[in-house]
Amino acid sequence: MARLDNKVAVITGAASGFGEGMAKRFAEEGARVVVADLNSKGADRVAGEIGKQAIAVTTDVSQRSEVDEMVAAAMKAFGRVDIMVNNAGLTHRNGDMLGVDEDMFDLIAAVNMKAIYYSTLAVVPIMERQGGGTIITTASTAGLRPRPGLTWYNASKGWAITATKSMAVELAPKKIRVNCLCPVAGETGMLAQFMGEDTPEKRAMFRASIPLGRLSTPLDIANAALWLASDEAEFITGIALEVDGGRCI
Ligand SMILES: NC(=O)c1ccc[n+]([C@@H]2O[C@H](COP(=O)([O-])OP(=O)(O)OC[C@H]3O[C@@H](n4cnc5c(N)ncnc54)[C@H](O)[C@@H]3O)[C@@H](O)[C@H]2O)c1
> Is residue 98, in this structure, part of any structural domain at all?
yes
- Residue span of the structural domain in which 186 resides: 8-243
Mean per-residue pLDDT, 66-71: 99
Contact 168, 134 (CB under 8 A): no
153, 178, 218, 230: the catalytic one is: 153
Identify the DSSP state of 186.
B
CATH of the domain at 170: 3.40.50.720
- Residue whose CA is closest, atom 42 of ligand 1? 89
- Residue whose CA is closest, atom 43 of ligand 1? 89
> Is residue 3, in this structure, part of any structural domain at all?
no
Show the CA angle centred on residue 97, arms to residues 38 and 165, nearest 5°: 60
CA–centroid distance, residue 180 to ligand 1 (Å): 14
Helices (H), strands (E): how many in the chain?
A: 9, 7
Sign of the alpha-carbon dihedral angle for 101, 107, 112, 115: positive
Q: Determine the pLDDT at residue 246.
A: 98
> Is residue 1, in this structure, part of any structural domain at all?
no
Give pLDDT tens digits for 111-164.
999 999 999 999 999 999 999 999 999 999 999 999 999 999 999 999 999 999
Give pLDDT tens digits for 12-53.
999 999 999 999 999 999 999 999 999 999 999 999 999 999
Give pLDDT tens digits for 81-118.
999 999 999 999 999 999 999 999 999 999 999 999 99
Contact 236, 179 (CB under 8 A): yes
Q: Determine the pLDDT at residue 237.
A: 99
- Tell whether the model's pLDDT for residue 247 goes beyond 90: yes
Q: Determine the pLDDT at residue 197.
A: 87
CA–centroid distance, residue 36 to ligand 1 (Å): 12
Query: How is the beta sheet containing 32-37 ordered, strand by strand?
Result: 54-58, 32-37, 8-12, 83-86, 133-138, 176-183, 240-243
Look up 117 and say whether it is catalytic: no
Distance CA 69, CA 122 (A): 9
> Is residue 60, in this structure, part of any structural domain at all?
yes
Q: Determine the pLDDT at residue 187.
A: 87
> Is residue 169, in this structure, part of any structural domain at all?
yes
20, 59, 87, 188: residue to mutate for ligand 1 pocket, most atoms within 8 A of CB: 188
Kindly report whether the global pTM for this prediction surpasses the value 0.85. Answer: yes
Q: Determine the pLDDT at residue 232.
A: 98
Give pLDDT tens digits for 156-210.
999 999 999 999 999 999 999 999 999 999 989 899 999 888 899 989 989 999 9
HSE on the CB side for 126, CA within 13 Å? 24
Distance CA 124, CA 56 (A): 22
> Is residue 170, in this structure, part of any structural domain at all?
yes
> Is residue 73, in this structure, part of any structural domain at all?
yes
In the chain, the number of structural domains is 1
Q: Name residues contacting ligand 1 (CB within 6 A).
A: 12-13, 15-19, 37-39, 42, 59-62, 87-90, 111, 138, 140, 183, 185-186, 188-191, 194
Amino acid sitting at position 96:
D
Among 213, 118, 215, 111, which residue's Cα sits nearest to residue 153? 111
